[in-house]
């Protein structure tokens, strides 16, 4: 068990560019979550997968955001036409299905949009 | 909608002393779960302690314990015998619903002084 990993750890991009982040959850975890954390705030829920199915998306997730988990293992989060307001830490977490289980977080991808 | 409020942005405590971090929440749900997560500087978020709302007994994990007051919708974290390694941001979080997404407070920065 190597924990949740995210790649890249840091991304600097210019406004208008597209970026893609990857999350590799703990292998036996069927649930995967994306959160966004801005400076001085707690993480905010973006979207959730159970296996390969995306079951919930936050209203924070505008049309420029898309997430996939094609084989129920790793997940990608893409942001198209980035804006300065997208600058944040993007966190991925995974857990076994059912409530009350600990969510295991990755180190995050810090996005800076210039 | 659920909300989590952490009104103290920062706290400081002397090593070996006890500190209490406050958290209140608002929900109309009857069945839910509460968590405290720790985010050390530049490191991944990890679970500190969790509490099931239907359990009256307060959860305890070594030096960490909670004071859960369901009627008051309060969920405070007590850290006993504070250690330098406890220096971190602490987030109170709430979970309900089939998707088990977490709703976080803004967090509190705890500094342990030597």
Q: Which two tokens stand for residue B65?
A: 């314990």
Scan residues 27-86 of A and list those with Cβ closer than 8 Å to B.
31, 33, 35, 40-45, 48, 55-56
Average pLDDT of A9-24? 98
B100 → closest Cβ in A3, A99, A107: A99
CB contact under 8 A, A100 and B103: no
Mean per-residue pLDDT of chain A: 93
Q: Which residues of A touch B43 (CB under 8 A)?
A: 107
The per-residue pLDDT for range A65-113, each reduced to its tens digit, is 999 999 889 999 999 999 999 999 999 999 987 667 789 999 999 999 9
How far, in Å, CA of A47 to CA of B106, rounded?
19
Note the pLDDT of residue A67.
97
Which positions ≥6 away from A18 have C-beta within 8 Å? Answer: A78, A79, A80, A81, A82
And the tokens for B55? 């359990």
A44 forms bridges with which residues in the sheet? A36
Strands B46-52 and B60-61, sheet pairing: unpaired
Q: Tell me the two tokens of residue A112.
A: 């800076």
Task: Extract the tokens encoding B53.
Answer: 């709302």
Report the alpha-carbon distance of residue B32 to residue B62 in Å, rounded.
Answer: 23
Task: Give me the percent of chain A exceeding a pLDDT of 70.
Answer: 97
Chain A: nearest CA to B71, how far in angstroms? 21
Q: Does residue A1 carry a pLDDT above 70?
A: no
pLDDT band of residue B42 (cuts 50, 70, 90) is confident
């Amino acid at each position: 068990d190597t924990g949740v990993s995210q790649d890249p750890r840091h991304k600097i991009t210019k406004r208008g560019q597209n970026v893609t982040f990857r999350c590799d959850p703990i292998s036996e975890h069927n649930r995967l979550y994306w959160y966004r954390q801005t400076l001085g705030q707690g993480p905010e829920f973006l979207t959730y997968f159970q296996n390969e199915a995306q079951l919930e998306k936050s209203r924070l997730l505008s049309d420029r955001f898309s997430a996939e988990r094609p084989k129920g293992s790793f997940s990608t989060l893409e942001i198209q036409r980035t804006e300065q307001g997208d600058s944040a830490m993007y966190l991925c977490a995974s857990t076994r299905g059912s409530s009350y289980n600990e969510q295991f977080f990755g180190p995050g991808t810090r996005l800076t949009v210039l | 909608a659920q909300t989590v409020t952490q009104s103290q942005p920062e706290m400081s405590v002397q090593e070996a002393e006890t500190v209490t971090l406050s958290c209140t929440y608002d929900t109309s749900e009857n069945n839910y779960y509460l968590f405290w997560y720790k985010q050390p500087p530049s490191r991944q978020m990890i679970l500190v302690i969790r509490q099931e709302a239907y359990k009256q007994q307060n959860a305890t994990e070594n030096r960490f314990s909670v004071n859960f007051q369901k009627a008051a919708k309060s969920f405070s974290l007590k850290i006993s015998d504070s250690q330098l390694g406890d220096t971190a941001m602490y987030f109170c979080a709430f979970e309900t619903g089939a998707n088990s997404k977490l709703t976080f407070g803004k967090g509190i920065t705890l500094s342990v002084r030597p």
